[in-house]
């Protein structure tokens, strides 16, 4: 009985350690992904003709400035 408890404890420890080491930090990757998605949407809207070149350039500059600072 005591051996089973130790096996469970060690198994939970290993599981927790693996989960901790393999998880991604959503705080660091989310803004970059959101920025890429914003640029993709902007490119698609320009390609479909929903916005003109002036509007495209203005919004692109805004997104790039927001990304850099």
The pLDDT value given to residue 25: 62
The pLDDT value given to residue 20: 85
**Mean pLDDT, range 34-43, rounded to an integer:** 82
pTM of the full structure: 0.48
Distance, in Å, from the CA atom of 63 to the CA atom of 39, rounded to the nearest integer, reads: 7
Spatial CB neighbours of 39, under 8 Å, sequence gap ≥ 6: 60, 63
pLDDT range class, residue 30, cuts 50, 70, 90 = low
């Amino acid at each position: 009985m005591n051996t089973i408890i130790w096996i469970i404890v060690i198994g939970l420890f290993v599981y927790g350690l693996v989960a901790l080491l393999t998880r991604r930090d959503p705080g660091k990757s989310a803004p970059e992904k959101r920025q890429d998605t914003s640029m993709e949407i902007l490119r698609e809207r320009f390609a479909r003709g929903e916005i003109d070149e002036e509007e495209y350039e203005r919004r692109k500059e805004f997104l790039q400035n927001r990304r850099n600072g």
